Amino acid sequence: MSKRYLKAEDLYALKSVADPRLSTNGKDLVYVETSISEEKDEYVSNLFYINVEEKNAPVQWTYGNDRNHSPRWSPTEDKLAFVSNRSGKNQIYVIHANGGEARQVTTSIYGASNPIWSPDGKKIAFNVSLREDEKLEDTDKKEEKKIVPLEVDKMKYKSDSSGFWDGKYSQIAIVELETGKIELVTEGNRDYQLQGWSPDGKSLAVTADFSENLDFSFVSDVFLLELETKKFEKITPGTGYFSGATWSPNGRYIGILGHEREFENATLVKIWVYDTEQKELSCLTAESDLLIGDFAIGDFQQGAVSPGLLWAEDNESFYFLASDRGNTVVYYGSLKGEMYPALLERQHVYGFTTGGELNRAVVAISKPTLQGELFLLDVPTGQLTQLTNVNSEYANEVALAEVEEIEFKSKDDWDLHGWLMKPAQFEEGKKYPLILEIHGGPHAMYANTYFHEFQMLAAEGYAVLFINPRGSHGYGQKFVDAVRGDYGGRDYADLMEAVDYVLEKYDFIDVNRLGVTGGSYGGFMTNWIVGHTNRFKAAVTQRSISNWISFYGVSDIGYYFNAWQIKSELEDAETLWKHSPLAYVGNVDTPLLILHSEKDFRCPIEQAEQLYIALKHRKKETKFIRFPESNHELSRSGKPSLRIARLHYILNWFKEYIK
């Protein structure tokens, strides 16, 4: 039986597996499986269990059409804490490993998240939101939904992820499981994020910003909160972003991920270790050009979690993820300074757990033709054994397009790297249109991972080109920093030279049928491209930036992002305007579709409105699509029906204008 080709609606049939958690016994594994309820137009997540030694079929542990996630094993390994919205709000539940009903252990008015067990397994610490004078005990109080004016007296009053600030701060509380007693251990008018519990049970690791003026502070420090005295000890220098704190088993060392903002938000994340006995913080990767963490982007996975440093039983060794040339790699490291890859393949590792083991790990892996599955990794041999097969029926039914990696030199002699995806029904001797895809960030990384949008375009007969131009992560500090102050310069040239390269190398691409699209920074670049060349027959700009002058005041990050990235303040409007695609709107002859979300606070919709009206006023070919109740993350985690509608708009625009 021949396979069919992918459709946008296949999103409803696919499942995502993420956040694997291996217990310290090295055999019990839980993970989160997310699917989409087409009837409810919502995501559904449940917990599943596998014994990795027996490699038995997964056993479902939670049921229903809710979102159950964030599973965390108890130290005694007989219980599991997790977060569920089954009561209407995210609350923390505990379920026994041998079965039975899950027990709700929090009833916080605004919900609870991020459960972390005490070392003795008798308590759970968690994050909770509260207004400055609210008490945690107000569990009978109902959250008010009436419409009231929004009083604004600070600059950081909105965010794309959480909307307008409503006066609540993230605090930390602890629930005693036997009695149900809950204690609030932080309070006041700043946010605290829980990181971990010390092995001796005496302290919590938390992140916070203790700066006096938070509007002008862009740091995150790691603190040790002594539970008995409630005193804070700052263990990072107050110079940048530090998080992901994890304790070694004996409690002596704390692994931390972060950087000191040497290149603002283009700075590579490094590994730091704090010695609690010597009271010293050291950077283990100070001389390395390796980027720590997973910076790959896709449009499919739900609930992926960054693991930080995963310590081994010897208290000196650890594993971590690194982003490197379009892959995420599992690395081994040690306090002695050893660093080498333990799993180096063409892949995107978006989940990773060891349970404290040195020789065994479970990894979540995606590839261009693999949506994502869990594998057991034997570290000494590098052998992978597949544990899940959640999309096997789909894989047997649908043919996916393969990708080919490309490497070439730019005109100024920089190494550039990317991929070309051939049409799924490719035939030798035929000519095909090409779509250039541009990622956001700009400090992100296209990778060897599944991309539903790319596969849809390939299934419809398009070749898809995607590269990591300078400014992208994964190619060293100099490469990622090169875009700052040069938006529309060498980054634009990299993309155009990539198109030239594939046109010269691959004779099946039709030079007269080219399209371009991208979102966020990729939307900015799409706007820039159509204002500087007419080589593309059609373009689709998504959640884009068109005017850096207005972006300064309307984006949740605008007033500092301009300075960091364009290297210009509002007083230098001439430079901001020079880098604004809106300044070149009179040059646009490419039919341009504009897609934008109504509640996008990162790149607010006024950016699209300005562009649309300027184009229409000049009688240019354009159309404007506004997505209701959606933010900057529409393409990745937005309402499923709107995600699919978005894909159809993109496809139909290219079909109309690329004949």
Cis peptide before 71 (omega within 30 of 0): no
Strands 538-542 and 592-597: parallel
Q: How many helices, marked H, and strands, marked E, lie in the chain? A: 11, 41
Predicted pLDDT at 134 = 87
* Residues 268-300: tens digit of each pLDDT: 999 999 999 999 999 999 999 999 999 999 999
- Report which of 266, 297, 272 is spatially closest to residue 284, judged by C-alpha positions: 272
DSSP of 482-510: TTTT-TTTHHHHHHHHHHHHHHHH-TTEE
Q: Which residue has the tokens 């600070």?
A: 154
Whether residue 1 is predicted with pLDDT greater than 70 in this model: the reply is: no
Q: Which residue has the tokens 């390395």?
A: 288
**What predicted TM-score, i.e. pTM, was given to this entire model?**
0.97
Burial of 407 (0-12, 13-18, 19+ CB in 10 A): exposed
Average pLDDT, the chain: 96
Whether residue 140 is predicted with pLDDT greater than 60 in this model: the reply is: no
* Residues 176-208: tens digit of each pLDDT: 999 999 999 999 999 999 999 999 999 999 999
Q: Residue type at 152? A: V
Predicted pLDDT at 133 = 83
Q: What share of the chain is helix, strand, coil (3-state, %, to 5)?
A: 20, 35, 45
* Residues 203-249: tens digit of each pLDDT: 999 999 999 999 999 999 999 999 999 999 999 999 999 999 999 99
Report the largest interatomic distance among the alpha carbons of the chain, rounded to a whole angstrom. 75
The sign of the CA dihedral 91, 96, 98, 101 is: negative
Predicted pLDDT at 158 = 96
Instruction: Report DSSP state, residue 69.
Output: E
Instruction: Report DSSP state, residue 564.
Output: I
Angstrom distance (rounded) from CA 105 to CA 115: 11
Ranges 131-135, 225-229, 635-639: which has the least confidence: 131-135
Mean pLDDT of 249-265: 98
Catalytic residue IDs: 520, 632
Q: 271 near 284, Cβ under 8 Å?
A: yes
Instruction: Report DSSP state, residue 220.
Output: B
Whether residue 498 is predicted with pLDDT greater than 70 in this model: the reply is: yes
- Report which of 15, 17, 11, 21 is spatially closest to residue 364, judged by C-alpha positions: 17
How far are the Cα atoms of 67, 262, 319, 504 from residue 13, in angstroms, in the given order? 17, 44, 34, 38
Instruction: Report DSSP state, residue 405.
Output: E
Q: List 436's β-bridge partners, or say none.
A: 465, 516
Going from N- to C-terminal start, the domains of the chain cover 415-633
Q: 564 near 441, Cβ under 8 Å?
A: no
CA angle 451, 457, 460 (to 5 degrees): 140
Q: 109 near 168, Cβ under 8 Å?
A: no
Whether residue 354 is predicted with pLDDT greater than 80 in this model: the reply is: yes
Q: 545 near 532, Cβ under 8 Å?
A: no
Q: 585 near 614, Cβ under 8 Å?
A: yes
Both tokens of 97, joined, read 């490993």
Whether residue 142 is predicted with pLDDT greater than 80 in this model: the reply is: no
Mean pLDDT of 517-546: 98
Angstrom distance (rounded) from CA 623 to CA 620: 10
Q: How would residue 98 be classed by pLDDT, with cut points 50, 70 and 90?
A: confident
* Residues 412-421: tens digit of each pLDDT: 999 999 999 9
Instruction: Residue 512: count other Cβ atoms within 10 Å of its Cβ.
Output: 10
* Residues 40-83: tens digit of each pLDDT: 999 999 999 999 998 789 999 999 999 999 999 999 999 999 99
Query: Comparing 477 with 143, which gets the higher pLDDT?
Result: 477
Whether residue 38 is predicted with pLDDT greater than 60 in this model: the reply is: yes
CATH number for domain 415-633, candidates 3.40.50.1820, 3.10.20.590, 3.40.250.10, 3.30.1060.10: 3.40.50.1820
